[in-house]
Structure 1
Amino acid sequence: MRLAEEYLRLGGRRRVKVDDKIVSTRKWDDEPAMASSFWKEHIEPLDEKQRREVKLHLPSISDV
């Protein structure tokens, strides 16, 4: 998904966690301001279904 790709290209560090079909993200490290702003402006405003789709295109916490 393009939004996830752009977020990661900007240095985004969130990772997806899928547990019993519940999709969430984790962020342990600070991320670049551009990535954080992109998340707030382009991903947070999406409805839950669209946000879930973006999150599923992020690297998994089990990949770290």
Structure 2
Amino acid sequence: MNATNTDTETRSLKLAKEYLRLGGHRRSKIDDNITTVRQWEKDPPEAERFWKEQVEPLSAADRKQVEDFLPTINSP
């Protein structure tokens, strides 16, 4: 396992990175400090399952932290 930055990453960042590594397509939209998540393409089954099992059950505040680490709709 690559130990680079793993000790300093928050749980929220780790969840977001794993979701994206699994091929997740959700993107965040942040407007006036309100975060919403957009999804135009269907996620691969592994990413969809990860999101439903690991991210959706989080409290609203914890889920927002994960969503804040997703690429934004303004990023390439």
TM-score range, shorter chain: over 0.9
Distance 2:43 2:52 in 1: 13
**Number of paired residues?**
64
> Which structure's residues are more often helix, by fraction?
1
2:51 matches 1:39? yes
Distance 1:26 1:53 in 2: 15
Larger radius of gyration: 2
Compute the RMSD of aligned alpha carbons: 0.6
Q: Runs of 5+ in structure 1 lacking a partner? A: none
Q: 1:48-63, aligned counterparts within 5 Å?
A: 48-63=60-75
Runs of 4 or more consecutive aligned structure 1 residues displaced over 2 Å after TM superposition: none
TM-score by length of 2: 0.82
Q: Secondary structure at the residue paired with 1:37?
A: helix
Whose RCO is larger (CA < 8 A, sep 6+)? 1
TM-score by length of 1: 0.96
